[in-house]
Amino acid sequence: MYRIGQRVRVSARPHEGHHRTPGYVKGKIGRVERMHASFTNPETRAYGTDGLPKQPLYLVAFSQRDLWPGYRGRAGDQVYVDVFEHWLEVAE
Amino acid sequence: MARGVHDLGGAPTQAPIDRSEHQLADWELLMDALVGTLGRRGLMNVDELRRGIESMPRAEYERASYYERWLYSVESILAEKGVVAAGELDARLGT
């Protein structure tokens, strides 16, 4: 489990099957904003299973500047992405 | 890292984005109802729908409209699960 405010990195591991982690946050560091709840796992449910066990889903905030090279917006601009716990790692 | 056909966040493009509202055609309303019914009957869930869409060959994915992607996915997932036999839909349509 991650706590609110914790810095986390999204895994950049290769993954061939169905998953919902957007490519533009893979390998990027963000901050846990909130833990939504636990939900059935779309990675297994997409193949006709019940998707159990449920997986915790977090709202993670990323600085726009960390995501886009040459970002020209305001320094504090953020983007919020829902990421399942098994895609997150502790960021140093 | 290879990205899925749908995973377009941050990808550069010069293509214009059509933000206009448009009326749904009758078949698009039926497509939506069909997917809802398949879900309620336990034949196909939304994650399977998405997998079917995101497994489309890139050229077909990019050419297809929103509900055409749903149609492609429903056909391929139902055939994969044996709910419809391969070729059954084409046979019924006489194509």
Domain boundaries, chain A: 7-90
How many domains are there within chain B?
1
Amino acid code (one letter) for B19 = R
Position B7 in a domain: no
CA distance B7 to A22: 6
% chain A with pLDDT above 70: 100
Residue in B closest to A26 by C-alpha? B1
pLDDT of B18: 86
Mean pLDDT taken over chain B: 93
Per-residue confidence at B94, pLDDT binned at 50, 70, 90?
confident
What average pLDDT does range B20-36 have in this prediction?
A: 96
Cβ contacts (< 8 Å) between B76 and chain A: which residues?
A: none
pLDDT of A92: 75
CA distance B71 to A12: 32
Query: Please, where are the H alpha helices in chain A?
Result: 42-45, 64-67
pLDDT of B49: 98
Judged by a CB distance cut-off of 8 A, whether residue A51 touches chain B is: yes
- B68: CATH: 1.10.472.20
pLDDT of B9: 92
Q: Which of A14, A26, A45 sits opposite B45 (nearest CB)?
A: A45
What average pLDDT does range B42-66 have in this prediction?
A: 97
pLDDT of A63: 98
pLDDT of B2: 77
Going edge to edge, which strands form the sheet with A78-84?
A: A78-84, A55-63, A29-39, A7-10, A88-90
Interface residues of chain B, partner chain A, Cβ below 8 Å:
1-4, 7, 9-10, 45, 47-48, 50-51, 54, 81
pLDDT > 90? residue B93:
no
What's the predicted TM-score (pTM) here? Answer: 0.91
Say yes or no for a CB contact (<8 Å) between B10 and A51.
Answer: no
Position B21 in a domain: no
Cβ contacts (< 8 Å) between B10 and chain A: which residues?
A: 23-24, 67-68
Per-residue confidence at A43, pLDDT binned at 50, 70, 90?
very high
The residue range of the domain holding B63 is 26-93
pLDDT of B76: 95
Say yes or no for a CB contact (<8 Å) between A18 and B54.
Answer: yes
pLDDT of B90: 85
Task: Using DSSP, state whether B83 is helix, strand or coil.
Answer: coil
- What separation in angstroms does the CA of A6 have from each of A32, A35, A58, A80? 5, 11, 11, 15
Position B79 in a domain: yes
The dihedral built from the CA positions of residue A21, B51, A37 and A78, taken in this order, carries a sign that is positive
Of residues B80 and B90, which shows the higher confidence score?
Answer: B80
Q: Where are the beta strands (DSSP E) in chain B?
A: none
CA distance B95 to B84: 16
Q: Which CATH class is domain A7-90?
A: mainly beta
What average pLDDT does range B6-28 have in this prediction?
A: 92
A37 Cβ contact partners less than 8 Å away, ≥ 6 residues apart: A56, A57
